[in-house]
Structure 1
Amino acid sequence: MKILITGANGQLGQEFQKKFNQLKISYIPTDYQQLDITNIEQIRKLVQKEKDITHIINCAAYNNVDKAEVEWEKAYTINGLAIRNLAIVSNEINAELIHYSTDYVFSGTKKEYTIYDEPSPINKYGESKALGEKEVKQAQRYYLIRVSWVFGMGNINFAKKVISWSKDKEELSITTDEKSAPTYTVDLVEATLELIKHKVYGLYHITNTPCTRYEWAEYILKQIGWRGRLNQAKRSDFNLPAIRPESSVLNNFGYNQVTGKSMPDWKDATKRFLKEMGYNL
């Protein structure tokens, strides 16, 4: 195996690098400074230089949900058109393409979504990721993996934000009407490699188990011994530019059937993450 990682400096990209170093798997880490995936000729030039690439793992994405309402063309380009470029190049070099999408491709009006459900995004970010889902299908061999609420050691995420807020605030307000499933980067990397091993291409949902934003924050704060007050809030209290889905739980049906494995519980994943952060639990 020789793997090209795009978006290698993001939290998922960093996790793959750690894993590949452990397994002694050959990889080429690139971020937007080294490789602009919106430019197909740049991708072609790189793969011609780095011969024998067997897999392209795309961890690059435009992730600013609120800014995407205004910068929708940028979001569509990075999350949509760039995926078309990766799909075309993966075909040209006969490589497998692994691409990640999001629960935000759904409206959030159902309690949970399976791989059967058709995307119905309610914000521009969700639309841009839904466009990427269409484009990835140009690849002859692809894994399209939907995730939600990704968290890990690299970069900022909701879990890290909660910890940061708790350091200088005695009172926090977190939404009770946003439900999805945290996805720990360590578990996601393991699950992705499991799929690659089985070579069953297609669409998957891979997350830990479901909870609300409030339940997740409450658990984190309890584990780290915060003594402040946690208030229940609603999405409407924050007046954000982009609408968020109320319940966008992804059902992992398909992954379990192919691999014979289940994703760990969200509390277990969160506890392991906090230990990785240095908390003595």
Structure 2
Amino acid sequence: MAQLKVLVTGAAGQLGQDVVLLLQHQGHQVMGCDRQEMDITDLDQCIQVIGEFGPYAVIHCAAHTAVDAAESDIDAAYLINATGSRNVAIASEKAGAKVVYISTDYVFDGLGSQPYHEYDNTDPKSIYGKSKRAGEVLVQSLSSKYFIVRTSWVYGKYGNNFVKTMLKLGQEKPMLQVVDDQKGSPTYTVDLARFLLELIQTEKYGVYHASNSDSCTWFEFTQAIFAEAEDILGLKFTAKLEPCATEQFPRPAPRPRNSVMEHLSIRTNGFQDIRPWREGLRDFLLELKE
């Protein structure tokens, strides 16, 4: 495999760190950019930094992901997710680079009973979802070589996430109520990063749904986290798990009831599907153990 030059935005984030590590591990030349190295809200700076590095591909992981905060700070969400993504797309296009935009299941209404596929109509209900959809539209309009990769329920070694929170609370609390009426596909950052690296080495441009396969509710996910962590990490959990309804935990931003995404593009483009989420979870816990 030839050595590639890849620029990664949001390189200090949960997904960004694993993408950078994987690329380095496989011998590619990587420029990891966080806010200090390149402010995506500054178009001139994006053009300069991306232009000087001259990447083969830009993997755009930087995003405003504070779902509830976005409801009250609309400008910040759009500045980063829409304007920032436009800037990255313009700079990548000028540099002749492919661009990967990491998007989300929140671009859908989350009310459907079937898994969403790539060409279903989007209808985001939250500011976060709307701003991420705006970013998709801008990337599609401004880049001639783009991959839009929607993912869901992401967790990994770096940063805060649901799995780490449950491991902690499960050992501290006598009882944990976890939502059992929202379903999705938990996605391990390492599995997603591997898919992104495979994707950028092709010209199979377009929209992709990339999560670990199979689905569960948050409650079922927590049950699996406890079972696997007891087995792999030898942890003892004091918390008794109880399923509950979304209404018991009112939040500023509406949460999708159904985040399950069909991997139509992965199949029709001849890629191997991403492994089941439970296998990813086990590997993540093994990584934590080390």
Q: The TM-score by the shorter chain falls in which range?
A: over 0.9
Aligned 8 A contact 2:155 2:162 in 1: yes
Letter in 2 for 1:118: N
Letter in 2 for 1:77: L
1:170 partnered with 2:174:
yes
Letter in 1 for 2:7: L
1:2 partnered with 2:5:
yes
1:161 partnered with 2:172:
no
Shift of 1:8: 0.1
The counterpart of 1:210, out of the listed 215, 224, 228, is 215
| Cα offsets for 1:99-127 (capped at 9, x unmatched) | 11000111111121001111101111111
Indicate the residue corresponding to 1:146 in structure 2.
150
Aligned 8 A contact 1:195 1:259 in 2: no
Aligned 8 A contact 2:8 2:58 in 1: yes
Root-mean-square deviation over aligned CA pairs: 1.2
The counterpart of 1:245, out of the listed 253, 256, 261, is 256
The counterpart of 1:14, out of the listed 7, 17, 22, is 17
Letter in 1 for 2:18: E
Identity of aligned residues (%): 35
The count of residues paired between Structure 1 and Structure 2 equals: 278
Shift of 1:81: 1.1
1:264 and 1:195 mapped to 2: Cα distance?
16
Indicate the residue corresponding to 2:37 in structure 1.
34
Give the TM-score normalised by structure 2.
0.93
| 4+ residue runs over 3 A deviation | none
Indicate the residue corresponding to 2:68 in structure 1.
66
Aligned 8 A contact 1:174 1:232 in 2: yes
Aligned 8 A contact 2:50 2:92 in 1: no
SS where residue 158 of structure 2 aligns? coil
1:184 partnered with 2:195:
no
1:90 and 1:222 mapped to 2: Cα distance?
44
**Unmatched segments (≥5 aa) in structure 2:** 231-236
Shift of 1:254: 1.1
1:264 partnered with 2:275:
yes
Shift of 1:227: 4.2
Aligned 8 A contact 2:102 2:148 in 1: yes
